[in-house]
Amino acid sequence: MIDYLKGRLIKSAPDYAVVEVNGIGYRLLIPVSTFEKLPAPGPEITILTHLYVREDEQTLYGFTTEEERGLFLMLLGVSRIGPKVALGVLGGLPVSAFKSAVASGNVDLLSAIHGIGKKTAERLILELKDKITLLPRLRKDAGKIDLDEAEEKVADVMRALLSLGYRQMVAHKALTRALAAAEPDWPVERLLKESLRYI
């Protein structure tokens, strides 16, 4: 199994990256959350990987953090969840927000992720809740807002951004940056206004 690649980043897009290692260019499918963390093409990077093997498919997936890869693998263990949906989940919510939503049974927040309907959200909660609640207490995202307590606020802001017509990738990136500057007592309106500053 290929655990990681260390080489020069040749190019990247929201759904893939090409890393050259010893003269060989490896094309990896990546979530939006990984794309947002990659530098501009040129420097050497280390990217975590997972080789997905089926009878008619061998695909290499890439991640910038162990948390992203761990959640990707956890999602693949859910019935009727494939790599495409798993990547969509990673691009739709920060890892800690997703785990918090599953732990608290927040169907609305999970359903706001592109490609996840209500039934799929309920299945995710059913199959992953025990795994996630057995893990250590969720860490704080962006250092200031505990998403376990503020998930409803995050869900409201994400829904508002999507209803304004912004693409999920744009909304996710803006909300993540807003959370880094947020104070725990900010109302939804203030968090939405801060998110809009980054679009």
Task: Give me the CATH number covering residue 100.
Answer: 1.10.150.20
Could you give the residue ranges of the DSSP H alpha helices within 59-183? 66-76, 83-92, 95-104, 107-111, 118-133, 147-163, 168-181
What percentage of the chain carries pLDDT values higher than 70?
89
Per the domain annotation, does 10 fall within a domain?
Answer: yes
pLDDT value for 97: 87
Residue 16 has pLDDT above 80, yes or no: yes
What CA–CA distances, in Å, run from 128 to 100, 134, 183, 185?
Answer: 11, 10, 30, 30
Residue 14 — pLDDT band, cuts 50, 70, 90?
A: very high
Residue 141 has pLDDT above 70, yes or no: no
- Which tokens sit at 86? 């798993």
Per the domain annotation, does 139 fall within a domain?
Answer: no
- Can you say whether residue 105 is alpha, beta or left, with left for phi > 0 and alpha for psi between -120 and 50 degrees? left
Structural domain boundaries enclosing 37: 4-64
Per the domain annotation, does 142 fall within a domain?
Answer: no
Q: What is the CATH number of the domain that holds 28?
A: 2.40.50.140
What number of residues does the chain have? 199
* Tally of domains in the chain: 3
Per the domain annotation, does 140 fall within a domain?
Answer: no
18 and 48 in a common domain: yes
100 and 83 in a common domain: yes
Per the domain annotation, does 23 fall within a domain?
Answer: yes
Between 147 and 71, the higher pLDDT residue: 71
Per the domain annotation, does 111 fall within a domain?
Answer: yes
pLDDT value for 44: 96
87 and 56 in a common domain: no
Per the domain annotation, does 169 fall within a domain?
Answer: yes
Residue 47 has pLDDT above 70, yes or no: yes
The Cα 96–Cα 92 span in angstroms is: 12
56 and 73 in a common domain: no
